[in-house]
Amino acid sequence: MTSAGTPAHSPAPDPAPVHYLSTLSFSDAWLDRLRERVPGLEITQITAEKAADVPDEVWRRTRVLHTGGVFPGPGQAPALEWIQLDTSGADHLKGTPAWELPVPITSIGGISPVPMAEYVMMMVLGLAHRLPRAVAIQRSGVWPSLSERWNTLMPRSLRGATLGVIGYGRIGQEIGRLARAHHMDVLGLKRGKAARSGAFFGAAARDEADAEIYTPDRLHDFLARCDYLVVTCPLTDETAGMVDAAALAALKEGAMVVNVARGGIVDEEALLRALRSGHVAGAALDVFDEEPLGADSPWWTEPGVLLTPHVAGFAPDYEEQVLRLVGENIERHLAGSDLLNLVDRGRGY
């Protein structure tokens, strides 16, 4: 183990065929292209929801596992050498036997920054232009008076407004680029200066010098300047509950909140109270503490809120980019080279 708690990577111990198991549902054409890229790769695809959906014999032969959330039990996959997640985060592995396995874990981080940044700016523009109110008017079927339109649909100007991003990594930097195109001031909050290695698809990494960077110990100073708060950070022990009642109270009066990270980072009850008091003027939420969101959740009908069902990270060219990343990582694994998007168990992502 390394000092960060991440297993050191080593090449495959023998020349036997590498058995790659996917618990996802890729097309035959996708699998054929992976075979072409890595000749000799032995591929098994089983669309699975739990470990029991995979026969024990397959688990025993698996050396590379590509999955979103299906992991072998203790001792079930003795030949396993590496886990490739089909998720950007690794929070769902914490506390599971898979997290303790002495094998590297990699993510697909870097595939979604462009669509996620576009989603965030769509929501920022939607909140600025009173989209929740406009949707409510459409559903009512009643054309409002000029006075009502003037008083309830007047947009906010983005020019000169301050957008703060909690988690100023690959996604945050792409959001910052788009925000600056609207002449917004950009703040980023991140843990440190250290860059994280990994694949980045669809956009070049941005220069942090274009944003004013804060560290978590200055969270409330950061929040006090935000007209728009965007949450993109991973869910870890450090970020769980980070945007709590005190943090929301520290926000500039009338700020808007956009959460595309994970449920558990923003205190939902505190946010609901802040919206109803008027301290927070609106919110766009793509993630929740419990998913699917229950039919009786107040978020479905809360005024001033735009809601989507965890779709901000959907990438239109997902399969092509995953093929590039997985193919590259398998080649690196066979060569004993560093893997892309290696999860740091010490950091939790």
User: Can 262 be counted among the known catalytic residues?
Assistant: yes
**Neighbour-count burial of 93, counting CB atoms closer than 10 A to its CB (0-12 exposed, 13-18 middle, 19+ buried):** buried
Q: Which of 35, 310, 324, 332 is catalytic?
A: 310
Q: Which string of DSSP letters, residue by residue, matches 117-175?
A: HHHHHHHHHHHHTTHHHHHHHHHHT-PPPHHHHHHHSPPPP-TT-EEEEESTTHHHHHH
User: Can 291 be counted among the known catalytic residues?
Assistant: yes
What six digits make up the tokens of 60?
Answer: 């025993």
Instruction: Tell me the three state secondary structure of residue 89.
Output: coil
CA separation for the pair 77, 57 (Å, rounded):
9
**Neighbour-count burial of 283, counting CB atoms closer than 10 A to its CB (0-12 exposed, 13-18 middle, 19+ buried):** buried
Sheet containing strand 228-231, edge to edge, reads 212-214, 185-189, 162-166, 228-231, 255-259, 280-285, 305-307
User: Can 36 be counted among the known catalytic residues?
Assistant: no
Q: Which of 262, 268, 333, 345 is catalytic?
A: 262
User: Which spans in 38-103 are helix H?
Assistant: 56-61, 97-100
Residues carrying an active site annotation: 262, 291, 310
